[in-house]
A and B are shown apart, each in its own frame.
Chain A
Amino acid sequence: MSRNQKIGLGVGVAGLVVTLLVVILIVSNISAIASWIGFDDSGTNINGREGAIGMLLNPESRVTNVIQCSDHAGCSALWPILFAAGFALVIVTGFAYTTLLERRLLSFLQHRVGPNRVGPAGFLQPAADGVKLVFKEDLMPAGADKWVFRIAPLIKMVPVLMVAAVIPMGPDLMLPWFAPSLGDIWFQVPQGLIDSNVGILWVIAITSIATYGVVLAGWSSDNKYAMLGALRASAQMISYELSMGLALAVPVMIVGSMSFGDIINAQRNIWDWLVFQNPLAAAILIIALLAEVSRAPFDLTEAEQELTQGYMTEYSGMKFALFMMAEYIGMIAVSFVAMAAFFGGYHLWPMDGAPILAPLIFLIKVFLCLCGMIWIRATLPRIRYDRLMQFGWKVMIPLALLSVTWTAISVVLGDALGGDAYPLISGAVFVVVLAFGAIALRRLGEDETTQEAIPMEDDPMYTGERNGIGWALIHVVGVLVAIPIALINFNIRALEGMASFGRTPEEDRALESGETAITPSGGGD
């Protein structure tokens, strides 16, 4: 028998022994368990309770004695651990089946059939892939920096897992706890890990950390092409973070809170969804999040034709699997963020009666968002790197600023005028933005081939001339901004001058060195 077979046999025997022990324990205590559940033959109850079945079937007996989980020492210590473990398990399984979803859906969109041999409809394909990657040889290049090489996939992987921590999966649940000594109690537990007050800030900050993993992976590979790929990937991720932050500022302005729980609760009905209040910001967020996770059409950094897998070139086996995990879990996490911020999170009408359904509804929305991402991948060609950077800085950021301005105007005027002013103003700005958008798109449609070429001596790209409405606007805006700042500076200095008018030089020096308050002696007594 080979060594692996012996190990397998040992594990199998151990599992059998454990199962037998559990069964024996249950069978020997069956009467105690039955009375605990409520199936005793006495007909009356222990401690006057009805047992679990009674509670389930008798809704009025619910909600008598509610304890907040955060108030109770045991629950507040145990629940986050349990929830985190369950959540991590769900996300990792979700990652595995996201790979299958991507392969199948991409295939159907390309008029072919994806993997359908391993298990019914290919459902065991992720398992087969996992087994294959585990058995692959885990190479390390000779000149690689050993520890950085090993840690880089983790640095990419852990932040994308952490992003999902601040997004609640549902409203608070009531969990019953049957402790015979305490009687009926219901724990009110949150369906999220942390509903932080600064959830949006957390998301933006943590996604930035993933960039480190990319750069370190490329650098430690001792491969110049991997390094180039890593630099490109990190530059792309940084460029799109600005527009992502600005787009995420829009729900903050509308709802007035950075916590994801508040943002989701502000979208209880489908007509309250924030996507209808500022579709431009939603579109910008989705595009920026696609670029953050290097997903098509922004996946130049890992395109095989370009840089032979880019920063992942030298990775194989389990470390490569970790990079793939990080990418797909990133996809899932950004779907969470987009759905929570603009598309109503876990709210939908069936959920109001049964909070336990909320994660299911949220996951259905996330699933649809993932299908949308895969649809985009199937349709759009890859964007060339320089155009990608131009798009991020010259198109996305101005549009993001525009959407923030739109929401800012709507919110401020809506608050000032009260009542129904907000939707009206928002709609009016929407029309203005649409008009500008239509004009701009028509302009974009006329490319160089439809217009006469400007002779080289007049082309501003060669002469370096700075004319046109864009430059004029920048100068005007610059002057407008500079005037108040100059005035403020001037005023501060003038005020300081007035304040120091009567002070003696010793008092001046004492003030500067930060001693205790000085009573100005004044110019005279």
Chain B
Amino acid sequence: MNVIKGFATTFKHLMEEPVTVQYPEQVQKFAERYKGRHHLRRYENGLEKCIGCSLCAAACPADAIWVEAAENTDEERYSPGERYAKTYEINMLRCIFCGYCEDACPTQAIQLGHEHQMSFTDRRDAIYVKNMLIDPPAEGLEGTPRQVEPGVYTRSIPDMEDPA
């Protein structure tokens, strides 16, 4: 009878290993394009990619990003080009992790990484400021701000060999 088959099915589950993943001891692998916490990336020479254009803030559907730009000088250079982001804040409680900011960025500065364990106990702590989002400089390289020779870093967007 079908009832007996039903009992046999549930009993079989008892004998098999459960499918539960025991988080946090075991973590499931993420897809490569998983949209986690934002990172502000740097170039290989250590300068920040973010130029403070606030296209990401304009693209954000949840109005979670706040950008204030300031002017780069050669004595105190953060990013190649004229502007850099003096203030860059993302409100993680407003952010919906859609990735539109990543799509809108002209320099591929903001990218969504894999960190997902963000928790805070106060709403104020949910606002991630620039120094929480910026990637640390690579080993041995000087960070920003730095002093550079004048005239080298004049373009915000790097030269492309073949623009087509």
Contacts and interface: CB of A to CB of B under 8 A. Distances in A.
B7 A379 contact: yes
Contacts of A110: 10, 13
A111 B19 contact: yes
A197 interface: no
A68 B30 CA distance: 72
Contacts of A14: none
B68 to A, nearest CB: 44
Contacts of A108: 13-14, 18
Contacts of B16: 111
Nearest to A444: B1
Interface in B1-23: 1, 3, 6-7, 9-11, 13-14, 16, 18-20, 22
Contacts of B11: 109, 375
Contacts of B3: 379-380
B13 A109 contact: yes
Contacts of B9: 379
A409 interface: no
A308 to B, nearest CB: 27
Interface string A286-302: 00000000000000000
A347 B75 CA distance: 93
B7 A375 contact: yes
Nearest to A106: B10
Given A111-B16, A379-B10, A441-B1, 20 more contacts: A107-B18, A108-B13, A108-B14, A109-B10, A109-B11, A110-B10, A110-B13, A111-B13, A111-B19, A112-B18, A112-B19, A113-B18, A375-B7, A375-B10, A375-B11, A378-B10, A379-B3, A379-B6, A379-B9, A380-B6
A363 B9 CA distance: 27
A375 B14 CA distance: 10
Contacts of B1: 441
Interface string A370-409: 0000010011100000000000000000000000000000
26 contacts: A107-B18, A108-B13, A108-B14, A108-B18, A109-B10, A109-B13, A109-B14, A110-B10, A110-B13, A111-B13, A111-B16, A111-B19, A112-B18, A112-B19, A112-B20, A113-B18, A113-B20, A113-B22, A375-B10, A375-B11, A378-B10, A379-B3, A379-B6, A379-B7, A379-B9, A379-B10
A124 to B, nearest CB: 18
Interface residues of B, number: 14
Interface string A94-133: 0000000000000111111100000000000000000000
Interface residues of A, number: 12
Nearest to A111: B13
Contacts of B14: 108-109
B17 to A, nearest CB: 9
A111 B16 CA distance: 7
A1 B16 CA distance: 52
Interface in A247-272: none
A97 to B, nearest CB: 19
Contacts of B6: 379-380
A483 B13 CA distance: 59
A59 to B, nearest CB: 44
Most chain A Cβ neighbours within 10 Å, of B9, B10, B14: B10
Contacts of A109: 10-11, 13-14
A373 to B, nearest CB: 13
A113 B18 CA distance: 6
Contacts of B20: 112-113
A112 B21 CA distance: 9
Nearest to B13: A111
Most chain A Cβ neighbours within 10 Å, of B11, B13, B19: B13
A111 B14 CA distance: 7
A12 B19 CA distance: 44
B140 to A, nearest CB: 44
A372 to B, nearest CB: 10
Interface string B128-160: 000000000000000000000000000000000
Interface string B15-56: 010111010000000000000000000000000000000000
Contacts of A375: 7, 10-11
A359 B9 CA distance: 33
Interface in A393-444: 441
Contacts of A112: 18-20
A519 to B, nearest CB: 72
Nearest to B1: A441
A450 to B, nearest CB: 15
A353 to B, nearest CB: 34
A498 B9 CA distance: 73
A441 B11 CA distance: 24
A110 B13 CA distance: 6
A380 B13 CA distance: 15
Contacts of B13: 108-111
A265 B22 CA distance: 48
Nearest to B3: A380
